[in-house]
Amino acid sequence: METILNALNPSQREAVEHIDGAMLILAGAGSGKTKTLTARLAYLVGEVGIDPANTLTLTFTNKAAAEMRERALNLMPAKVSYPPLLCTFHKFGLLFLKFHIEKLGRSNAFVIIDSDDKKRLLRSIAKELKVDLNISFIASEISKYKNSLLSPELVLEKAELPDYKQIANIYVKYQANIEENNLVDFDDLLMLTHKILSENDALREETSKRYQYIMVDEYQDTNELQFQLLELLSSEHNNLCVVGDDDQSIYGWRGANIRNILEFANNFETCKTVKLETNYRSTEPILKAANTLIEHNSTRLGKKLTSHKGSGQEVKLLHSLDESMEAKAIAHEVEKLLDEGVDPDEIAVLYRINALSRSLEEGFTKAGVGFKLIGGMRFYERAEIKDLISYLRVLSNPHDDFSLIRIINKPKRGIGKASIEKLQKAAFDAHMSLYEYIEKSGRGELPSVISKKVATALEKLVEDITLLQEALKNELGNFITLFEEHIKLKDHYAGMVDGFDRILNIDEFYGYFRDAVIKNPDLTLDEFLNDISLQSDQDQVEEDTITIMSIHAAKGLEFEHLFVIGLEEEFFPLLGEGSNMEEERRLGYVA
């Protein structure tokens, strides 16, 4: 065991040798938190003599769990016959429910449904209740309710706004349906585990006594449900050790509660706090920039990273007139690095919002720099951008049935799938394009199988298309403004859970369209669409590719050469509804 301790720095060793009582390991980026956690687990089992079956270590990803399990077992004595339980929160919930779900009157032969199955069920219920809301938004809200321990009945009682009353009614039927069919969704794995433990004192006491030592990785990412579950599991021994970094709490938008780590020492008596402040990943200039940024936050526990590597290259600030110039400059820098023999896998470009990837994709494509987009789809593959392009294609060629079908009910016009299918069949039988056929709506010639409401909606669509086609005969810049006003695509996406990001993407597209007109006043719509097609259809380059990704997707990864783009107000920091300046700084700190 002395060999394990000798491999640690003083702070890491202090954390490993702490045995009884709650402990917060405040671990800065690159400070060896995984090494410390696995060493502590090995120390508890190999030196203190704790039975591995009496330990529980929880992580957020299967990858992290597998890595920690392998490292911990390599440090433990060969005589350890039973491996410690080291898994994700949700895997623990699954194991627990397999033994104890009968406490809720249910069979342990339950089936776990994935997110697609969940959405299919919600879509069916929404249709039954005649609710016309985005299914992803409904699924996200129900997930939030469960992770906040809000039952369907309580949500229904508290709902005030019409949309949320509808979601509450769907939640009631959804939960009843999955219970009736002995189904469990991802959130139920923890919510039902919490319910069983909180309602059965004897079982809670037995379970808590079994897990004498509990450790949690990435504690800053825990939500309310996970916090309360940990309280129940550690209630007998109070030996809860959590590792995290409040300065890296960047998932508030998906339910993570930074108060869990900020208030940990107050919530658990005689808590010991150990700070890991030696960074083994970055040089001093990088850490100086990160420390200077994060020190502007007032809501933090406070620590200051120092570099084990020492001095290095200063952080460079690149000024650009616009995003196109920025992308061009970065592409040039990347080309220089590649010429110097730098491995492309060691180069990454990070962005705060998805919309900013467009200029990078265009700039790198023009420069012939191969790239891969991680954690998201390419700009022109996004649904809202495809919608915009489809609208423009219909204006350019009204007989493009494929594009017309895509946008015929965006924004919502009350034109359902059944009506579209009837129109398609009628148009086919009449040897007409779909647009030619629906033009009859303006003359009252649509068949009686189409309702008057649908016919009126189609008439308005034809009017808008005709108006915009006339506008195309004039200056293209003025057309863009009129186009934006008439199609109202932002309204279609505004109510979605990711509506803010989608609207930013739409604005980015309009900005790109206007810039293209400014650069080429003689540009035609067909030329613009052809240019987009060439960009979106570029063959992916498999070799010599750098990485483009969001900061959220990059958390925990390392690159030798890193570019962070769009550091300007409204983009990074993001300024909008629900924006949080302290979380924006934490994002910058993570990058």
CATH code of residue 239: 3.40.50.300
Residue ending a domain, among 149, 181, 213, is 181
The partner residues of 214 in beta bridges, in order of sequence, read 56, 240
Whether residues 401 and 518 share a domain: the answer is: yes
Q: Could you tell me if residue 331 is inside a domain?
A: no
- Is residue 361 within 8 A of residue 512, CB to CB? The reply is no
Residue ending a domain, among 507, 536, 565, is 536
Q: 12-16, 384-388, 400-404: lowest mean pLDDT where?
A: 400-404
- Count of C-beta atoms within a 10 Å radius of residue 381: 11
Instruction: Tell me how long the chain is.
Output: 591
Domain that holds residue 133: 111-181
Q: Could you tell me if residue 541 is inside a domain?
A: no
Residues 6+ apart with CB under 8 A from 504: 353, 354, 355
Q: Could you tell me if residue 105 is inside a domain?
A: no
Whether residues 419 and 493 share a domain: the answer is: yes
Q: What total number of domains does the chain contain? A: 3
Residue 123: both structure tokens together: 């879509």
Whether residues 15 and 74 share a domain: the answer is: yes
Q: Could you tell me if residue 249 is inside a domain?
A: yes
Which of the given ranges, 208-222, 306-320, 523-537, has the highest pLDDT on average?
208-222
Q: Per-residue pLDDT averaged across 558-564, rounded?
A: 92
- Is residue 314 within 8 A of residue 283, CB to CB? The reply is no
> Which amino acid, one-letter code, is at 188?
D
Residue 226's pLDDT band (boundaries 50, 70, 90)? Answer: very high
> How far apart (Å, rounded) are the C-alpha atoms in residues 409 and 401?
13
Residue 538's pLDDT band (boundaries 50, 70, 90)? Answer: very low
Among 252, 261, 255, CA closest to 230: 261
Exposure b/e, 481-517, CB count within 10 A at least 16 = b:
ebbbeebebbebbeebbbbbbbbbbbebbbbbbeebb
Whether residues 159 and 200 share a domain: the answer is: no
Q: Is the pLDDT of residue 1 over 60?
A: no
Whether residues 446 and 394 share a domain: the answer is: yes
What's the pLDDT at 290?
92
- Return the CATH number at 166: 1.10.10.160
The H or E element containing residue 2 is helix 2-6
Q: Could you tell me if residue 177 is inside a domain?
A: yes
Among 551, 560, 548, CA closest to 313: 560
Residue ending a domain, among 128, 155, 181, is 181
Residue by residue, DSSP assigns 426-472 as: HHHHTT--HHHHHGGGGGT-S-TTS-HHHHHHHHHHHHHHHHHHHHT
Whether residues 16 and 119 share a domain: the answer is: no
- Is residue 371 within 8 A of residue 361, CB to CB? The reply is yes
Q: Could you tell me if residue 520 is inside a domain?
A: yes
Exposure b/e, 451-475, CB count within 10 A at least 16 = b:
eeebbebbbebbebbeebeebbeee
What's the pLDDT at 533?
62
Whether residues 245 and 220 share a domain: the answer is: yes
Residue 291's pLDDT band (boundaries 50, 70, 90)? Answer: very high
> How far apart (Å, rounded) are the C-alpha atoms in residues 191 and 13?
36
Q: Could you tell me if residue 523 is inside a domain?
A: yes
Strand segments (E) across 1-70: 23-27, 55-59
Whether residues 142 and 228 share a domain: the answer is: no
Residue 364: both structure tokens together: 């790198």
Q: Is the pLDDT of residue 396 over 50?
A: yes
- Is residue 172 within 8 A of residue 152, CB to CB? The reply is yes
- Return the CATH number at 504: 1.10.486.10
- Per the prediction, the chain carries an average pLDDT of 88
pTM over 0.85: no
Share of the chain above pLDDT 90, in %: 48
Residue by residue, DSSP assigns 387-428 as: HHHHHHHHHH-TT-HHHHHHHTTSS--S--HHHHHHHHHHHH
Whether residues 123 and 249 share a domain: the answer is: no
SS3 550: strand
Q: What is the pLDDT of residues 127-142, one digit of tens each?
A: 999 998 889 889 999 9
Whether residues 391 and 463 share a domain: the answer is: yes
Whether residues 205 and 68 share a domain: the answer is: yes
Whether residues 138 and 50 share a domain: the answer is: no
Q: Could you tell me if residue 373 is inside a domain?
A: no
- Is residue 408 within 8 A of residue 416, CB to CB? The reply is no
